[in-house]
Structure 1
Amino acid sequence: MVCNTWLFKAGFGVCLSSLLLFSSKAAAQMSISPLVIEAKADRGQAQGMITITNTGNTLSRVRVYAEPFTYSRDTGFQTLPVNSPNNLTPYLQFSPRELTIQPGESRRVRLIGRLAPSLAEGEYRAVVFNETLNESKDSAGNNVTLATRIGVTFYIRKGNLSGKLAVNNATFNPQQKQIQILVRNSGKATVRPSINWSLQREGTVVKTGTVDATAVVAESDRHLLLNFPGTENLAPAQYQLTGELVWGEDKNKSKLPFDVNVLIPATTTDSPKK
């Protein structure tokens, strides 16, 4: 899921946020499920359904549109130009494209992908944005339109495709002040692994934790942050990071153990720690 919030005032648009979670009161007034749809094409066709619920107190106007996307190694979600090789949008139909939803009401949008017979086997992707426009007035009495969009990622796979994951390494990200794991997907299908991990130093467990399921696009790699507080207080030293990647359905889960070293570097502001 991708949530973006835009503010339109006096004819100008300003991006307020671009996050992978609900980031504003306006976003919280619209609920969408599911947030990820994965389907295998049968005779070139696959479909899905989105349910949009207005959880706010006022009528919502929703516009639905789609764009190609990927997840990059460091910046995460990003939209792509229309000539991207895995672009699903030319083969995607959905209805309705515009909705008016009363408070407490739910509406459905049907997605249908019809892949051309000439398309090569592979995974085709689109993010289906559901954009809500909310109008109000600011403290000066000016009309303000807040546009919030929540994206549902839609994957259609043509052929018998699967992902193939590996943990390449673990490093310390000095900007985020977090340990990050570089996960490589050399397969033909996107995988959404979760992570169970344990950080040790000289045989003593320092910290354990989990990472929620995160998409690693086919034939790409991505840094996944362990994201636990207090990393900057770790003593500069070499640590051992162990754990497992877990993905797939409950009855057919795949697991990949990993065991890598990670160096927490010393900085000029560090004081000796033991």
Structure 2
Amino acid sequence: MFSRVHKPASSTTLKAIQLSGWLLSAACLVNGAAWANLGASPLVIEAQANRGQVKAVLNVINSGDTLLRARVYTEPFTYSRDRGFQTIPSDSSYLGSYIQFSPRELIVPPRSSRRVRMVAQLAPSLANGEYRAVIFTEALNEATDTIGRKVGIITRVGTTVYVRKGDTAPNLVVDRASFNAKQKHLELFVKNIGNASVRPMVRWSLKQANKVFWSGELAPTAIIALGDRNLALAVSEKDPSPLLPGNYQLSGQLLWGEDNAQTVPFSVDFIVPAK
């Protein structure tokens, strides 16, 4: 199907953001179970369709000492308000029906990697907007523990893919803030009323009567198009005690894009009630 590795032209904006190894499904290690050495890169792909088409390359990595058999496939996914990433049965923005892989199943020698080429061809009848899927790379070898016993573990790594057709953009609105006394963190509720997903980082500070109590940063966190998230802002480990009852102000910026060029400032008041 493919005669060469595609290098996207400037007319097809393709950003492959490699993150530091979050596994999206069942645990890889149970008593030292095998196939914790499965990896994939990149773990996030964002692309603007050019004439309805996007091409990309997924690298399947075997960092172990044993031959790895693997396959790739897609599922619908979302980011829920509180639980974060999760696969779902269906989604009107599901991209998987338009993706082809070459190869779909592969063998990766020890301490090496192999490329899987992906083509997403959107139907002309599709409305403008964002289409997405998670590509799972799953080990087909039977997992074993340290003494060779078979264990019923499915090991897979997920790459989230966002393909945009036509004009799309995120539009973030900070709705409210609160303090979760049980989890001992601040919560910032953010809505994305735009038609493109986004991964903003948060720079924030907490004040009372212009006195700064805490400040910090939250690493980029996905907020799905037309979705919302409760962003957990960790307080200082040096002062993990609950806030005293009173009025507080949480302010800062949401930042994303190249060099964090896109920003949304926010300032929200909230009350910590008396027990």
Name the CA shift for 1:48/1:25 in 2 (closer, same or farther; >3 Å).
farther
Secondary structure at the aligned position of 1:120 is classed as coil
Q: In structure 1, what residue type is equivalent to 2:26? A: T
Tell me if structure 1 keeps the 8 A contact 2:35–2:64. no
Q: TM-score scaled by structure 1?
A: 0.83
Number of the residue aligned with 1:185: 192
What secondary structure, in the 3-state scheme, does the structure 1 residue paired with 2:224 have?
Answer: coil
Partner of 1:4: 25
Q: 1:260 to 1:27 in 2, by over 3 A?
A: farther
Q: 1:219 to 1:137 in 2, by over 3 A?
A: closer
User: CA shift at 1:28, angstroms?
Assistant: 5.0
1:90 partnered with 2:97: yes
- Take 1:27 and 1:253, find their aligned partners in 2: how far apart are those partners? 39
Q: 1:179-204: CA deviations, max 9, x gaps?
A: 11111111111111000111122222
Partner of residue 79, structure 1: 87
Give the corresponding residue for 1:13.
Answer: none
Per-residue CA shift, 1:188-238, capped at 9, x if unaligned?
111110001111222221111111111111111111110234544332332
1:231-270 residue pairs with structure 2 within 5 A? 231-250=240-259, 253-267=261-275
Task: Give the whole-Å Cα distance in 1 for the aligned partners of 2:118 and 2:204.
Answer: 37
Tell me, yes or no, if the aligned pair for 1:2 and 1:152 is still in contact at 8 Å.
Answer: no
Aligned counterpart for 1:67 among listed residues 71, 75, 80: 75
Structure 1 residues 126 and 206 mapped into 2: Cα distance closer, same or farther (>3 Å)? same
Check conservation: 1:167, 1:258, Cα contact below 8 A: yes
Of 211-220 and 59-68, the range deviating more from structure 2? 59-68
Change (3 A) 1:195 1:90: same
Q: Per the alignment, do residues 105 and 196 of structure 1 end up closer, same or farther by CA in structure 2, a change over 3 Å counting?
A: same
| Aligned-residue offset at 1:171 | 1.3
Runs of 4+ in 1 over 6 A off after TM superposition: none
* Match status 1:32 vs 2:53: no
What is the deviation of 1:63? Answer: 1.9
Cα shift at 1:117: 0.7
Secondary structure of the residue that 1:42 maps to in structure 2?
coil
> In the alignment, which residue of structure 2 is the partner of 1:161?
168
Which has the higher mean CA deviation after the structures are superposed, 154-163 or 143-152?
Answer: 143-152
Secondary structure of the 2:151 match is strand
Structure holding more strand per residue: 1
The reply on whether 1:126 has 2:164 as its aligned counterpart is: no
Which residue of 1 is the match for residue 179 of structure 2? 172
Aligned equivalents of 1:25, 1:244: Cα separation in 2: 42
Quote the residue 2:207 is aligned against: 200
Cα RMSD (Å) of the superposition? Answer: 2.4
Q: Any gaps of 5 or more consecutive residues in structure 2?
A: 1-21
- How many residues get paired? 250
Cα distance, 1:99 vs structure 2? 1.9
Change (3 A) 1:25 1:49: farther
1:45 aligns with 2:66: no
Q: TM-score, normalised by structure 2?
A: 0.83
Q: Rate the CA distance shift 1:174–1:39 in 2: closer, same or farther, 3 A.
A: same
Task: Check conservation: 1:60, 1:134, Cα contact below 8 A.
Answer: no
Q: What's the offset of the Cα at 1:154?
A: 0.3
Q: Give the gaps of 5 or more residues in structure 1.
A: 8-15, 18-23, 268-274
Aligned AA (1:4): S
Against the structure 1 CA distance between its residues 111 and 175, is the aligned structure 2 distance closer, same or farther, given a 3 Å change threshold? farther
